[in-house]
Amino acid sequence: MNIDNIYTSIRDNIKPISIVILINIIIAVVYALNAPEVYTAKAYVLPPENKYIQALNLSASEVGNTKREYTVREVYPLVINNLQSRKYQRKFFFENNINKLFLNDDIEESFEKNFHEQIGLKLQSKVSQIRMRSQDFLTVSFKSNESVKAATIINDYIDMVLADTAGELARSVNTTITKRINAYEADIDAKRNLAKTIKLDNIARLNEALSIAKELNINEVKMMSSDITTIVNLEDDSTTDNSKLYLYGTKALKAEIISLESRLSEDPFTIGLRSLEQKIETLKNIKIDENNIKPATIDQRAIPPSMRSEPKRKLIVILGTAFGILLAFLYLITKLFIFRKT
């Protein structure tokens, strides 16, 4: 087999070769014209601006947590994960009755084929010349047989995910605040209970000292040899010398006992209580509004595409023609091989 034989064979079989190629071209054209048109709507998402997530960050003195801080690099991946999450996709599809937009009686099958498989996400990292830092540009796309439907669905889906993500972040911080308030309130209750117990203990000690002072007939405060008056500290449940409280004298001890017994509240005498109340009041005035949180920035919303993305008719015809030429060549080689054998 040489070039001359191939050339001669092509010349002698030009008609069947042309028919094979023509048939493939016709098939490709028919398929290209009858293939369902598909439109791809695209939306472009950027990382959030710092000012829209700062509300999530509270100082350590307010929340009592120095390690937890929400940054762009923590919030943005959450948005990307949620966009890809089947949980959010199913929520959007079923709660908004998206299945009614497609001709498919099987809802689960419609979700898989008409929604889940048609969503595309492409993440591209670039370096911003202004901020000189890496930025992740996310392209979210959706394919549909109608351009307006494709754009509407992907825009609504992104809006839902961003709103739900903002709510998730806000609830997380608000839950932390609530837990911190509960912890402070429990601490206050413990301090109040302890203060009541300390008061009762002090009254018991003073009553005992009063009895001793009466027995010793000590009515006035008696000075020690070192000219230091014995003092009782009712705040921290300690005394300079509890065994010598009787040196206060009956008048002072009775007045102290009456004062303690008539006290309606221990709050003014409880160390650290007002500080905890101030912290609680501060936290109660902090409420993270999810409407003020933007976990991502929509650089451009999806616009109904004017040109279809599928089918690529020119490419189909070109491939059909190439396939026809390949078949014609195989036909020619086979015929030459069979002719050579005979």
Query: How many Cβ atoms from other residues are within 10 Å of residue 176's Cβ?
Result: 17
- The answer to whether the beta carbons of residues 224 and 230 sit under 8 Å apart is yes
pLDDT at res. 133: 43
Position 334 in a domain: no
Phi-psi region of 262 (alpha: psi -120 to 50; beta: other; left: phi over 0): alpha
Instruction: Clarify whether residues 149 and 57 are in a common domain.
Output: yes
φ and ψ at residue 136, rounded to 5 degrees: -100, 110
* Residue 210 belongs to domain with CATH number: 1.10.287
pTM (2 d.p.): 0.70
Amino acid at 206: L
Instruction: Clarify whether residues 140 and 51 are in a common domain.
Output: yes
Domain count, the chain: 2
- The residue range of the domain holding 237 is 184-284
* Chain-centroid distance, C-alpha 28: 48
Position 13 in a domain: no
Per-residue pLDDT of the chain (342 residues; tens, 9 = 90+): 556 666 666 677 788 888 888 888 888 888 877 777 889 999 999 999 888 888 887 654 466 554 467 888 889 999 999 999 999 999 999 999 888 888 777 889 999 998 999 999 888 765 544 443 456 789 999 998 889 999 999 999 999 999 999 999 999 888 888 999 999 999 999 999 999 999 999 999 999 999 999 998 988 887 654 444 444 444 444 444 566 888 889 999 999 999 999 999 999 989 999 999 998 998 888 888 899 899 999 999 999 998 887 778 788 888 888 988 888 888 777 777 776 655
Q: What is the DSSP string of 211-239?
A: HHHHHTT--SPPPPTTS----EETTTTEE
Position 270 in a domain: yes
Helices (H) and strands (E) in the chain, counts: 10, 6
Instruction: Clarify whether residues 242 and 306 are in a common domain.
Output: no
